[in-house]
Amino acid sequence: MKAIGVGFGRTGTTSLKAALELLGHGPCYHMFDIVEEPARIGTWIDAAEGSPVDWDHAFEGFASVVDFPAAAFWRELVARYPDAKVILTVRDPDSWYESATKTIFRKALRARRPMARIGFALVSRIAPDLGAFVKMTDVAIMRRVFDGRVADREHAIAVYRRHIEQVKAEVPGERLLVYDVSEGWEPLCAFLSAPVPEEPFPRGNDARTFDREEKERVRRLMHRRR
């Protein structure tokens, strides 16, 4: 493991994934990989429920990791891979929360409605992979990180701010890059001792793109057969 991204989702993690892969620090493990390979879901449910996890097996074939659910287990990963560089992606807390509520928190907020619970029970029977994925995001992210209170703006932003301060306090400065992806290549390349690529820094996964791609991810999980 060469690099561990410990920033929350919606802080530029998709851009960071692409950047790390362009710099030779890939493949980079991301939430997208869990959708593509639902067998990976169990790892994160086990971790959230306190069962032992073989991290080396979980990340076999990957040279870096970013995004949730890995960011929810940053302490474990930073300790397990002491030679890996640590990258904390950040953005303005208010804009982060606005983005999160339109994307990664949206289904969690809807799931609290009574009819949604009934629908989830039915979906879990029809499409077990999708049901397992929803459970994973609930136990490993929404509950573990946010105490199930993502609808509480002040609480969620306080969790976000606390996470940043905890990472900065616990990860040695020489091992840590606090990074806003809007800064582009230079800080990241300097931190990783990599040459700056000629191509533009990757950008993507805005709310509109997320919505379109999420529908496709759900469709794949719905139709995948075990």
> Residues near 167 by Cβ (< 8 Å), separated by ≥ 6?
6, 74, 86, 88, 176
Is the model's pLDDT at 114 over the cut of 70? Answer: no
pLDDT tens profile 210-223: 555 555 555 555 55
| pLDDT score for 163 | 98
Handedness of CA 7, 9, 11, 14 (dihedral sign): positive
Q: Which residue segment(s) compose the domain that 71 sits in? A: 3-223
pLDDT tens profile 162-198: 999 999 999 999 999 999 999 999 999 999 999 999 9
Would you place residue 147 in the very low, low, confident or very high pLDDT band (cuts 50, 70, 90)? very high
First and final C-alpha spacing in the chain: 30
Q: What is the CATH number of the domain that holds 59?
A: 3.40.50.300
> Residues near 121 by Cβ (< 8 Å), separated by ≥ 6?
none
pLDDT tens profile 39-50: 999 999 999 999
Could you tell me the CA-to-CA distances from 127 to 16, 111, 194 in Å, in that order?
Answer: 31, 17, 43
pLDDT tens profile 20-64: 999 999 999 999 899 888 899 999 999 999 999 999 999 999 999
**DSSP string over 80-146:** H-TTSEEEEE---HHHHHHHHHHTTTHHHHHTTSHHHHHHHHHHHHH-HHHHHHHHHHIIIIIITTT
pTM: 0.87
Beta carbons of 90 and 11 less than 8 angstroms apart: yes
Would you place residue 113 in the very low, low, confident or very high pLDDT band (cuts 50, 70, 90)? low
Overall domain count for the chain:
1
